[in-house]
């Protein structure tokens, strides 16, 4: 038996940054423009005076301790919060150059797709799960559906694993596969934006890595906003990172900047684990 | 991984008493064994009671079984005076009234359950559900009275119009006396609808939020969420409520006998009077003279038992094939 060195236990992960763009990079057009946004659950104010721009075709991550409002903001982007009674929004959000609240909510949610924390496949076959969103739209022809299901499953890097069991129940595949299935389901309707609410928090590291790879693949197709508790994940996948604390946006910057040289003391404290 | 050595516990395994098997008495005192015995006894008692029931029905129907054999099932003559007994009119009446009752109560019950679970404000929903559950506790003789004094007078006004326009369909023609398969089915459907509503509402409410939100996030309308995500997820529970209703309808005695007319005949028309197995047993048991008559009635009981079993088996089969279909489709 060989003794081992303490440094082996604590060897730091080598972080690979998603974005190494130069500082003078011109940002693409804004996908979301949030101005003076306040959000209330009854008397409790969950978001305070949020101002931010989410650039198009980039990955933006929201980090922060539990209850800091990052998920609330995410769910405001596709207006899922409206379904909770007693909530109130103040301020404005623009999707592209249009007011987010001028869309019918059902149409908006086809443009702004969402994947949730817990894999939530429908108790149907794998094929039907992906086809579900397509079938909601009567303008999509029946014979198109099979092609689009295959395309989405390929994009979600799941096709090779499930192509032989498309008609088996989606509850029979692993949690990581289920989550990728949910991503495929969201991608099938070809959204402009994909919102991900802690998509890997229930998954093992290998499944997490697969989902992160997949996000790299699809970021040319749509804007991605991801909420995560895992700072390494934010560092790995995001071009931009927003740090939230107690309902306020403390700092928003290039991922590398946030993790290597944050401007705010609170950000520094959070990412170094001084509080959480 | 050869460089990793597991720490050895300071106290050796044996001396901590972990290797000793507990005696039966020790396990009994710790409670596990008690629970095991009680639940085992409960489980077995169900099998024993069912077994005894079948055995009794079998033994005490022997005269009739020997006299008529399989013809008992298909013969339509019920003539106690001459000692000729055939069960077909009763089997037919039981099956027709139960299925018709389900056909009426499933859409109403499911619709109400969806309204109460998905659309109604929670307070209203709870208040209404309380009332509906009260309905399930009303004695069946009361439903029989409602059938006679409320339903049949209404039907006397409605049925002539139905017969005028739809009389050419065999199931609607013939003279309407008030008491009929149709009246019995409506009373039955009123009786089983509370079961469907209250159980289905419960399972619909317990569908996880994640399923609803996943559907909503695909751009589904409220109705799409309900019909394509919530109801399919709750399908098994809803089917359960329907089985329970079917069992209730097949065995219902009092309310049915008050409105079905108690005539041992087989009619295509739903407007004609008929009879059911449970009703004939209840009505004729006290006046059964002679062993053969008694044994014939008990054989009817056996037939009812078998019919109920067959329906339950079919329902389960249907559910299995539906499940298979879901996944294939």
φ/ψ region of B128 (left if φ > 0, alpha if ψ in -120 to 50, else beta) reads alpha
Cβ contact B188:B97 at 8 Å: yes
**pLDDT confidence of B38, banded at 50, 70, 90?**
very high
Taking the C-alpha atoms of residue B316 and residue B294, their distance in angstroms, rounded to an integer, is 33
Among B3, B208, B217, whose Cβ lies nearest the Cβ of A1?
B3
φ, ψ of residue B286 to 5 degrees: the values are -70, -25
- DSSP, res B266: -
pLDDT for A53 equals: 85
Number of compact structural domains in chain B: 2
pLDDT for A12 equals: 34
Cβ contact B32:B22 at 8 Å: no
Distance from CA of B118 to the nearest CA of A (A): 13
> Is the pLDDT reported for residue A247 higher than 80?
yes
φ, ψ of residue B193 to 5 degrees: the values are -60, -40
Q: Which residue blocks in A193-245 are alpha helix, DSSP H?
A: 205-218, 231-237
Cβ contacts below 8 Å, chain A against chain B, sum to 77
Residues contacting A146, CB < 8 A, separation 6+? none
Enter the tokens of residue A257. 């900047």
Domain boundary among B59, B89, B110: B59
> Is the pLDDT reported for residue A98 higher than 90?
no
Q: What are the beta bridge partners of residue A114?
A: A195
Nearest alpha carbon to residue B159 among B141, B146, B171, B145? B171
Distances (CA, A) of B37 to A199, B27, B40, B141: 46, 12, 5, 40
Our CA dihedral for A262, A263, A265, A267, rounded to 10 degrees, sits at -40
Considering the domain A26-120+192-271, what is its CATH architecture? 3-Layer(aba) Sandwich (3.40)
B55 with B104, same domain: the answer is no
Among A106, A108, A118, whose Cβ lies nearest the Cβ of B221?
A106
CATH of residue B296's domain is 1.10.3720.10
Enter the tokens of residue A201. 């928090």
Per-residue model confidence as pLDDT tens digits over B278-289: 999 999 988 888
Distances (CA, A) of A211 to A78, A82, A191, A196: 22, 28, 18, 11
B124 with B34, same domain: the answer is no
pLDDT for A256 equals: 84
pLDDT for A196 equals: 94
Q: Which residues of B touch A120 (CB under 8 A)?
A: 208, 210-211, 213-214
Among A4, A132, A167, whose Cβ lies nearest the Cβ of B218?
A132
Number of residues written out for chain A = 276
B34 with B170, same domain: the answer is no
Enter the tokens of residue B113. 């359950």
Among A109, A122, A185, whose Cβ lies nearest the Cβ of B211?
A122
pLDDT for A17 equals: 54
Among A124, A133, A186, whose Cβ lies nearest the Cβ of B326?
A124
Mean pLDDT of the region B48-55: 95
> Is the pLDDT reported for residue B18 higher than 70?
no
B145 with B25, same domain: the answer is no
User: To probe the interface with A, which of B6, B213, B215, B219 has the most A CB atoms within 10 Å?
Assistant: B219
**pLDDT confidence of B8, banded at 50, 70, 90?**
low
H/E element, A193: strand A193-197
Mean pLDDT of the region B250-279: 91
> Is the pLDDT reported for residue A232 higher than 90?
no
Residue B228 maps to a domain: yes
Distance from CA of B326 to the nearest CA of A (A): 6
Residue B4 maps to a domain: no
Contact call for B217 and A80, based on CB within 8 A: yes
H/E element, A101: none
Residue B47 maps to a domain: yes
pLDDT for A18 equals: 54
**pLDDT confidence of B155, banded at 50, 70, 90?**
very high
Per-residue model confidence as pLDDT tens digits over A168-225: 889 889 988 999 999 999 999 889 999 999 999 888 888 898 889 889 888 888 899 9
Domain coverage including residue B41: 20-59
Q: What percent of chain A has pLDDT over 90?
A: 30
Residue B204 maps to a domain: yes
Mean pLDDT of the region A245-272: 87
Residue B102 maps to a domain: yes
B217 with B82, same domain: the answer is yes
| Range B16-24 contact pairs with CB under 8 angstroms and sequence separation of 24 or more | none
Taking the C-alpha atoms of residue A100 and residue A114, their distance in angstroms, rounded to an integer, is 16
Cβ contact B311:A110 at 8 Å: no
B45 with B90, same domain: the answer is no
Q: Which residues of B touch A80 (CB under 8 A)?
A: 213, 216-217
Q: Which residues of A touch B324 (CB under 8 A)?
A: none
Cβ contact B174:B112 at 8 Å: no
B124 with B39, same domain: the answer is no
Taking the C-alpha atoms of residue A75 and residue A100, their distance in angstroms, rounded to an integer, is 13
- The pLDDT mean for chain A works out to 85
Residue B254 maps to a domain: yes
Of residues B20 and B291, more confidence is placed in B291
Mean pLDDT of the region B39-46: 95
**pLDDT confidence of B47, banded at 50, 70, 90?**
very high
Contact call for B214 and A128, based on CB within 8 A: no
Contact call for B213 and A116, based on CB within 8 A: yes
Distance from CA of A263 to the nearest CA of B (A): 36
Whether the CA torsion B169, B163, B143, B136 is positive or negative: it is positive
């Amino acid at each position: 038996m060989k003794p081992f060195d303490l440094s082996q236990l604590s060897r730091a992960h080598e972080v690979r940054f998603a974005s190494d763009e130069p500082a003078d990079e011109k940002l693409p057009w804004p996908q979301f423009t949030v101005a003076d946004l306040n959000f209330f659950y009854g008397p409790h104010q969950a978001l305070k005076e949020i101002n931010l721009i989410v650039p198009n075709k980039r990955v933006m991550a929201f980090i922060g301790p539990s209850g800091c409002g990052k998920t609330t903001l995410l769910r405001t982007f596709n207006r899922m919060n409206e379904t909770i009674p007693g909530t109130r929004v103040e301020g404005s959000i623009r999707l592209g150059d249009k007011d987010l609240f001028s869309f019918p909510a059902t149409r908006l949610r086809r443009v702004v797709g969402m994947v949730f924390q817990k894999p939530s496949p429908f108790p149907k076959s794998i094929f039907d799960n992906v086809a579900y969103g397509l079938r909601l739209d009567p303008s999509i022809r029946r014979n198109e559906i099979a092609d689009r299901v295959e395309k989405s499953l390929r994009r979600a890097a799941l096709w090779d694993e499930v192509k032989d069991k498309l008609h088996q129940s989606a509850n029979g595949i692993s949690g990581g596969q289920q989550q990728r299935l949910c991503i495929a389901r969201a991608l099938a309707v070809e959204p402009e934006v994909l919102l991900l609410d802690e998509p890997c928090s229930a998954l093992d590291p290998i499944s997490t890595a697969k989902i992160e790879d997949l996000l790299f693949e699809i970021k040319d197709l749509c804007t991605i906003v991801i909420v995560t508790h895992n700072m390494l994940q934010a560092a790995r996948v995001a071009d931009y990172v927003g740090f939230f604390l107690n309902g306020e946006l403390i700092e928003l910057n290039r991922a590398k900047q946030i993790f290597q040289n944050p401007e705010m003391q609170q950000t520094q404290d959070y990412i170094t684990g001084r509080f959480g | 991984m050869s460089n990793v050595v597991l720490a050895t516990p300071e106290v050796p395994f044996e001396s901590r008493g972990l290797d000793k098997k507990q005696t039966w008495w020790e396990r009994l005192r710790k409670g596990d064994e008690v629970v095991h015995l009680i639940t085992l006894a409960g489980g077995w008692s169900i099998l024993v009671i069912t077994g005894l029931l079948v055995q009794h029905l079998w033994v005490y129907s022997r005269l009739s079984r020997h006299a008529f054999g399989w013809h008992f099932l298909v013969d339509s003559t019920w003539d106690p005076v001459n000692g000729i007994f055939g069960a077909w009119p009763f089997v037919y009446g039981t099956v027709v009234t139960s299925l018709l009752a389900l056909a009426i109560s499933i859409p109403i019950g499911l619709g109400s359950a969806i309204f109460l679970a998905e659309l109604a404000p929670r307070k209203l929903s709870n208040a209404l559900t309380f009332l509906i559950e009260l309905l399930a506790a009303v004695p069946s003789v009361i439903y029989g009275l409602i059938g006679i004094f409320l339903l049949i007078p209404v039907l006397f006004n409605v049925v002539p119009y139905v017969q005028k326009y739809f009389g050419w369909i065999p199931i609607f023609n013939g003279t309407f006396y008030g008491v009929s398969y149709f009246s019995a089915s409506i009373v039955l459907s009123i009786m089983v609808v509370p079961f469907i509503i209250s159980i289905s509402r419960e399972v619909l409410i317990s569908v996880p939020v994640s399923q609803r939100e996943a559907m909503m996030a695909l751009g589904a309308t409220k109705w799409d969420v309900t019909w394509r995500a919530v109801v399919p997820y709750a399908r098994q529970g809803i089917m359960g409520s329907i089985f329970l209703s079917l069992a209730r309808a097949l065995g219902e005695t009092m309310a049915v006998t008050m409105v079905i007319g108690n005539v041992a005949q087989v009619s295509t028309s739903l407007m004609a009077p008929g009879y059911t197995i449970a009703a004939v047993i209840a009505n004729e048991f006290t006046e059964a003279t002679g062993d053969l008559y008694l044994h014939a009635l008990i054989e009817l009981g056996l037939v009812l038992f078998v019919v109920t079993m067959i329906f339950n088996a079919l329902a389960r089969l249907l559910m299995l094939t539906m499940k298979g279909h879901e996944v294939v489709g």
